[in-house]
Amino acid sequence: MSNKKLSPTEGIKINSDGLRGTLKQSLKDGHTGNVRPDDEILVKFHGMYVQDDRDRRAERAEKKLDKFYSFMIRLRIPGGIINAQQWQSLHDISEQYGTGTLKITTRQTVQLHGLLKHQIRPTIQAFNTAALDSIAACGDVNRNVTVSAHPQVSPIHQQVYEYADKISTLLLPKTQSYYEVFVDGEKIYDRSSEADPLYEDRYLPRKFKIGIAIPPSNDVDVFTNDIGLIAVIENNELRGFNIAVGGGLSTTHGNPDTYSRLATVIGFTDTEEKTLKAVYEVLTIQRDYGNRSDRKLARLKYTVDRMTVQGFKEELEKRIGFQLQEERPYTFTERNDRYGWEQNSAGKWYYNLFIENGVVQPHQKEFLYKVSKLEISNFIFTTNQNLIIGEVESENKQAIQALIDEYAIETNQSGIRKSSMACVALPTCPLALAEAQRYLPELVTKIEPLLAKHGISEEEISIRMTGCPNGCGRSYVAELGFVGTGPGQYNFMLGGDRYGLRLNKIYKEKLNEQQILEETDNLLLQYVNERTNGELFGDFTYRKFFSNN
Amino acid sequence: MLSENKLTLLQQLVANATDTEIIWTNGYLTGYLEAVKGTTTAPSIPALNNAEPKVTLKPTILYGTETGNSKKAASSLHAAFKKSKIQSKSTDIVQYSVSKLEKEELLLFVISTQGEGEFPLNAIAFYEELVASNIKLDNLKYAVFGLGDTSYPLFCNAAVLLNEALQEKGAESILPLVKSDVDYSEEFANWQQQLLNLLQNNSTAITVSEAPVKTTVPHKKDYKGTVSHKVILNDHGSNKQTYHIEITGDEDIIYEPGDALGIIPKNSYESVIEIIGYFTDSPDRKVTFKDKTDTLLNWLTQLNIKGLSKKTLSSIGELLGVNISYEKADLLDVLIENPVPVNIKIESLLELLLPIAPRLYSISSSAEAHEGQVHLTVNLNRFVANNKVKTGLASQYITDIPKKGEIDFYIHRNNNFRLPDADTDIIMIGPGTGIAPFRSFLAERDITGADGRNWLFFGEQHFTLDFYYQTEIQEWLNTGVLARFDGAFSRDQERKIYVQDRIRENAAEFNQWLLDGASIYICGQKAPMSLDVENTIIEVIANERSIPVEEAKQVLESLELEGKYQKDVY
């Protein structure tokens, strides 16, 4: 598209021989816990990031030890559902390799941290045995496809859920290098069968995210995805999908060319074939038109804006060979998970468990393992980093309830805590500028008394924190958003709505904890004094500080 | 005195000779003279009275060794005999039975001394059997060459005891007992030459020389320095506690890669006070002992109270009027269990204790690369003895010295562990703190720009916790100083992986390096590590060259004789 010099990552992808690079040699290098520099890029495509324990850097250097490198591995679980046997495997693998912590992500999957290099192959092999993989869970490809996680909320959940798997499979890279490098070892795959008409040898310019929402719940934050599909339901039947393109939250501090953007609905498709076709061709447009020189400006949102929404839609219709229909009406009225027991239309029971910031606590992990041993349920990851024990027959409900009681799983958390979300950040995420997952619970504990003071303890104000401006914790679509700028320092974001339909904006920059608490106290006071009838906190702050009225 | 021809020859010889050669020649001539002198006084050996030039005496060489030096010396003697057409055999003393002695004509012992004047492990049984037997050895001639270290109390004690026992059984010494210090090579060459002279010169009888027992004057220089830096190399969570210690000398410290640092540790104040407490005595009381007067505290600080030998323990038992059956116990273990009779004074205890022996640590720095500093890599030795967790005296002592604290030490030359020519490739196998001399080797080869390729094998328990000098090794790999690195971390997976497994995995290349003339170095634990590694190397040579194991053993043995296979094991 442009004559600008390609970013170095582009060369690494093209020369990677189907994402193989020098990974086999890297795994054998005995002097380092890391892989070779180019392979650091390639492991992402296989679902891993190299991380190092940043808390340990200085002291290890003193000890003449290299950085404490380890790998995060993230599974590809389209729609977030695994069965009980798979949970058992996941549990066992996490006990054997890595830190032992299961982390549920904001994209409806789970990741293990702290895998050492020599543990990668046995880990992936064990996952493979359990029919789980980490292909394309990271990297410049379509990532894990998310779907509203609540079968109990909508009778068409199963129907929509199947789209996640179909889309994920459709958009998988064709290379078999994952199996060659990590599973079978020496077996060499036939390269001619690896021809990839979608990704070719260059893959996408940047990561690509797809989410599918089933109204009335926008738990997936559908507009934060590169492609958002909104299920259109009439008379309890699935009619098709509104298609939205160009969502994405990440920005770069100090780079005014970067911005958060919510996806724009460009039309409606009414059959599976047309929907899949449209999704596929959005990727080919991004492949061909996306910015490959500057990775900070490479997401689909910039491509859409450069082409204009109208121009993008025309190019898409040219590629799919049919016109998109008019957008259909939809309404989102919730985004949080529905905690506790609920029953779906077919009479099955679902228990939604609160897992703060997705970090499964040891007693929760033990509880879940016991549940999985009963083999009377499945397990559903939610995009709010929680977990649902699902598809429980009425006669089995009591067995699970007994375990819930035994492990004291049912806790009475405040509305704001149940509406909180944080990314991993320090010490492992290489991008983090500030704490998130380790700190947000503490901050919430300090905000709870303020809510009580103003008599609004029940309010489910959404509060989200990310350690850097990349927005994995989706803090740009929160009522109280915190974006890390440096150690102990955050940009305070206000004006987002409760259901993920409006981005927030910077209210104050670089605040420390005390300033955050003072500001919050003051804002809550203004809110209780000045709110209109039924006005939610995010709508109030938007009206007060950002609307032109 | 000499004819002109002979004089010219001698002058030419001297002019062209190196210092070492002249020294050697000097020894040769001395030995020769001594042997000639003997002819007039001593009884002769019948076999040598034969007018035929052929030598019929078949000496047996027995070596008692802990670190391999005695074995090496014995091999060299064996080779020299072979060259001079003297039939001999060289045997590990552990495989030799006292009952065979009566059939021998000439026995040559090469034996080292360990710790508190003890026999090397492989020689204990032989000595005990010999002492206990009623054997008559009136027909046996023998000579003993002792290897030792003058820094230790009871220098060459094993050789002395063996010599006494042989004499008591009636055997006749043909050469005075030699007690050699650490650098034994010159004296050994001398001894070897004297033996050759005796055996070859049929006009010369073998005799006991009247010359006094010779010991080398220690040529060790004492240094003072301060610990300028120390850090535990292991990360948190490791089972090991290995210190990197940097010492800056008050003056320039002269050493070469391969050398070791010797220190004489001291007992901790607490333990000495506790001992004195058992005797209800005062630490400040002046005591005169061995013509020297000092406080009790100072006396006990310098005497060995840890890991006492069976002999010392039994005499302490006698003192206390009890029977002590265990060995390697500490003095405090004994005192805690056995009350000191009121009439026993602490002076009688001092009589029984030996001075603390020095300990050696391989130096892990290069004087050239590390600006004259001496670096050590010291594992704080923790072990269980008599159901108590204990730490090693020396490692505790040295790792307890704080930063800026003072340390007295000396440099222990290790001429049997030296870098080869700059062009020669080297393979270094140094798991655990065995990496120490190889850090020195690599730093030296780095700064001097040596062309030879370097291959390092290192192993420990855990990659993330116990990879000593990892960042330096990475830098040497980046700059090409290290051509290859192979790490074996035993506890990172279910199946334990050791350095020898890495050697086996790289068998073809390992063999190729040897064929290309590489020298092999092993440093670290003697057993089981160095033995396993050695067997693996033999296996690799045998497999890769398709030769029988026996032949592969010989390949390695000849490498050892050529100085291309060196070990620093403990």
Confirm whether B539 is domain-assigned. Answer: yes
Place A547 in a pLDDT band, splitting at 50, 70 and 90: confident
Q: What is the predicted pLDDT for the residue at A160?
A: 97
Place B40 in a pLDDT band, splitting at 50, 70 and 90: very low
pLDDT per position as a tens digit, A368-396: 999 999 999 999 999 999 999 999 999 99
A vs B, Cβ pairs < 8 A, gives: 48
Helix (H, G, I), strand (E, B) or coil at A274: helix
Looking at the complex, report in whole angstroms how far the Cα of residue A64 sits from the nearest Cα belonging to chain B: 5
Place B209 in a pLDDT band, splitting at 50, 70 and 90: very low
Burial of A394 (0-12, 13-18, 19+ CB in 10 A): exposed
Q: In the Cβ-directed half-sphere of B365, how many Cα atoms lie within 13 Å?
A: 21
Q: What is the predicted pLDDT for the residue at B23?
A: 61
Same domain, B463 and B363: no
Q: What is the predicted pLDDT for the residue at B28?
A: 59
Minimum-distance CB partner of B231 among A30, A62, A68: A62
CATH code at position B231: 2.40.30.10
Structure letter (DSSP) for residue B161:
H
A62 touches chain B (CB under 8 A): yes
Q: Of A459-463, B327-331, B345-349, where does the model show the most confidence? A: A459-463
Say which residue the tokens 């990314």 belong to. Answer: A423
The more confidently predicted of residues B65 and B257 is B257
Q: How far apart are CA B36 and CA B28, in angstroms?
A: 12
A32 touches chain B (CB under 8 A): yes
Q: What is the predicted pLDDT for the residue at B366?
A: 96
Nearest chain A residue (CA) to B489: A30
CB count, 10 Å around CB of B12? Answer: 10
The more confidently predicted of residues B204 and B34 is B34
Confirm whether B255 is domain-assigned. Answer: yes
Q: What is the mean pLDDT of residues A453-465?
A: 96
Residue range of the domain that includes B310: 269-351
Q: What is the predicted pLDDT for the residue at B185?
A: 83
Same domain, B447 and B550: yes
Same domain, B433 and B539: yes
pLDDT per position as a tens digit, B173-206: 999 999 988 778 889 999 999 998 888 875 345 5
Q: In the Cβ-directed half-sphere of B152, how many Cα atoms lie within 13 Å?
A: 22
Q: What is the predicted pLDDT for the residue at A315?
A: 98
Same domain, B140 and B230: no
DSSP A379-396: EEE-TTS-EEEEEE-GGG
Q: Is the peptide bond before A362 cis (omega within 30 degrees of 0)?
A: no
Whether B470 sits inside 8 A of A62 (CB atoms) is no
* Residues of A recognised as catalytic: 74, 143, 207, 209, 423, 429, 468, 472
Q: Which residues pair with residue B388 across a beta bridge?
A: B385
Share of chain B above pLDDT 70, in %: 87
What domains, with CATH codes, occur in chain A?
Answer: 416-545 (3.30.413.10)
A228 touches chain B (CB under 8 A): no
pLDDT per position as a tens digit, B99-144: 888 888 899 999 999 877 888 888 988 998 898 888 889 889 999 9
Nearest chain B residue (CA) to A66: B471
Nearest chain B residue (CA) to A52: B464
Q: What is the predicted pLDDT for the residue at B56?
A: 67
Minimum-distance CB partner of B471 among A59, A65, A116: A65
CATH code at position B506: 3.40.50.80
Same domain, B363 and B467: no
Minimum-distance CB partner of A65 among B470, B477, B486: B470
Same domain, B228 and B304: no
Q: Tell me, what amino acid is at B302?
A: Q
Q: In the Cβ-directed half-sphere of A355, how many Cα atoms lie within 13 Å?
A: 31
Say which residue the tokens 């009027």 belong to. Answer: B321
pLDDT per position as a tens digit, B367-404: 999 999 999 999 999 888 777 888 899 999 999 999 99
Taking chain A, what is the end-to-end CA distance rounded to the nearest angstrom?
Answer: 42
CATH code at position B68: 3.40.50.360
Q: What are phi and psi of A465, to 5 degrees?
A: -135, 135
Confirm whether B33 is domain-assigned. Answer: no
In this prediction the ipTM stands at 0.84
Q: pLDDT averaged over chain B?
A: 87
* CA distances, B434 to each of B378, B392, B411, B525, B532 (Å): 10, 17, 18, 7, 15
Same domain, B246 and B275: no
Q: Which residues in chain B are contacts of A118 at CB distance < 8 A?
A: 463, 492-493
Minimum-distance CB partner of B463 among A63, A64, A116: A116
Whether B492 sits inside 8 A of A60 (CB atoms) is no
Q: Which residues in chain A are contacts of B473 at CB distance < 8 A?
A: 31
Of B84, B142, B149, B85, the residue nearest B110 (C-alpha): B142
Confirm whether B298 is domain-assigned. Answer: yes
Q: What is the predicted pLDDT for the residue at B6?
A: 65
Same domain, B546 and B436: yes
A36 touches chain B (CB under 8 A): no
Q: pLDDT averaged over chain A?
A: 95
A256 touches chain B (CB under 8 A): no
- Is the CB of residue A500 less than 8 Å from the CB of residue A221? yes
Same domain, B186 and B73: yes
Q: What is the predicted pLDDT for the residue at B52?
A: 42
A116 touches chain B (CB under 8 A): yes
Q: What is the predicted pLDDT for the residue at B21?
A: 64
pLDDT per position as a tens digit, A192-247: 788 999 999 999 999 999 999 999 999 999 999 999 999 999 998 999 999 999 99
- E strands, B446-501, are 454-460, 484-489
Q: What is the predicted pLDDT for the residue at B3?
A: 62
pLDDT per position as a tens digit, A164-191: 999 999 999 999 999 999 998 777 777 7
Spatial CB neighbours of A428, under 8 Å, sequence gap ≥ 6: A51, A52, A53, A54, A70, A72, A113, A114
Same domain, B342 and B385: no
Q: What is the predicted pLDDT for the residue at B90?
A: 85
Whether A118 sits inside 8 A of B472 (CB atoms) is no
Q: What is the predicted pLDDT for the residue at B25?
A: 62
Q: At residue A64, does pLDDT exceed 90? A: yes
Spatial CB neighbours of A479, under 8 Å, sequence gap ≥ 6: A461, A462, A463, A494, A496, A497, A498, A504, A536, A537, A538, A541
Q: Of A48-52, A140-144, B336-340, where does the model show the most confidence? A: A140-144
Where does A208-350 have alpha helices with state H?
272-289, 300-307, 309-320
Q: Tell me, what amino acid is at B184?
A: Y
Q: What is the predicted pLDDT for the residue at B71?
A: 85
Q: At residue A343, does pLDDT exceed 60? A: yes
Confirm whether B214 is domain-assigned. Answer: no
Spatial CB neighbours of B12, under 8 Å, sequence gap ≥ 6: none
Q: What are phi and psi of B145, to 5 degrees?
A: -115, 120
Q: What is the mean pLDDT of residues B248-264?
A: 94
Supply the pTM of this predicted model.
0.81
Domain boundary among B303, B332, B351: B351
Looking at the complex, report in whole angstroms how far the Cα of residue B377 sits from the nearest Cα belonging to chain A: 12
pLDDT per position as a tens digit, B277-302: 999 899 999 998 878 899 999 999 99
Q: What is the mean pLDDT of residues B482-508?
A: 96
Whether B231 sits inside 8 A of A60 (CB atoms) is no
Confirm whether B536 is domain-assigned. Answer: yes
Of B485, B383, B385, B384, the residue nearest B435 (C-alpha): B485
Confirm whether B51 is domain-assigned. Answer: no
Nearest chain B residue (CA) to A122: B493
Place B220 in a pLDDT band, splitting at 50, 70 and 90: confident
Q: What is the predicted pLDDT for the residue at B326?
A: 76
Q: At residue B213, does pLDDT exceed 60? A: no
Q: How far apart are CA A390 and CA A346, in angstroms?
A: 12
Residue B393 zone, left/alpha/beta (φ > 0; ψ -120 to 50; rest) = alpha
Q: What is the predicted pLDDT for the residue at B82?
A: 85
Whether B233 sits inside 8 A of A64 (CB atoms) is yes
Q: At residue A55, does pLDDT exceed 90? A: no
Q: Which residues in chain B are contacts of A64 at CB distance < 8 A?
A: 231, 233, 244, 468-472
Q: Which residues in chain B are contacts of A63 at CB distance < 8 A?
A: 231-235
Q: What are phi and psi of B42, to 5 degrees?
A: -90, 155
Q: What is the predicted pLDDT for the residue at B2?
A: 61
Q: How far apart are CA A287 and CA A277, in angstroms?
A: 15
Whether B472 sits inside 8 A of A64 (CB atoms) is yes
Written as six digits, the tokens of A38 are 């180019």
Q: What is the predicted pLDDT for the residue at A429?
A: 86
Q: How far apart are CA B418 and CA B509, in angstroms?
A: 23
Confirm whether B22 is domain-assigned. Answer: no
Looking at the complex, report in whole angstroms how far the Cα of residue B537 sits from the nearest Cα belonging to chain A: 21
Q: What is the mean pLDDT of residues B38-63?
A: 56
Q: How far apart are CA B506 and CA B544, in angstroms?
A: 11
Looking at the complex, report in whole angstroms how far the Cα of residue B469 sits from the nearest Cα belonging to chain A: 5
Number of domains in chain B: 4
Q: What is the mean pLDDT of residues B438-447?
A: 97
Same domain, B368 and B335: no
Of B519, B265, B225, B526, the residue nearest B395 (C-alpha): B265
Q: How far apart are CA A486 and CA A498, in angstroms?
A: 27
Of A294, A305, A298, A346, the residue nearest A152 (C-alpha): A346
Spatial CB neighbours of B554, under 8 Å, sequence gap ≥ 6: none
pLDDT per position as a tens digit, A82-140: 999 999 999 999 999 999 999 999 999 999 999 999 999 999 999 999 999 999 999 99
Helix (H, G, I), strand (E, B) or coil at B485: strand
Q: Which residues in chain A are contacts of B471 at CB distance < 8 A?
A: 61, 64-66
Same domain, B405 and B274: no
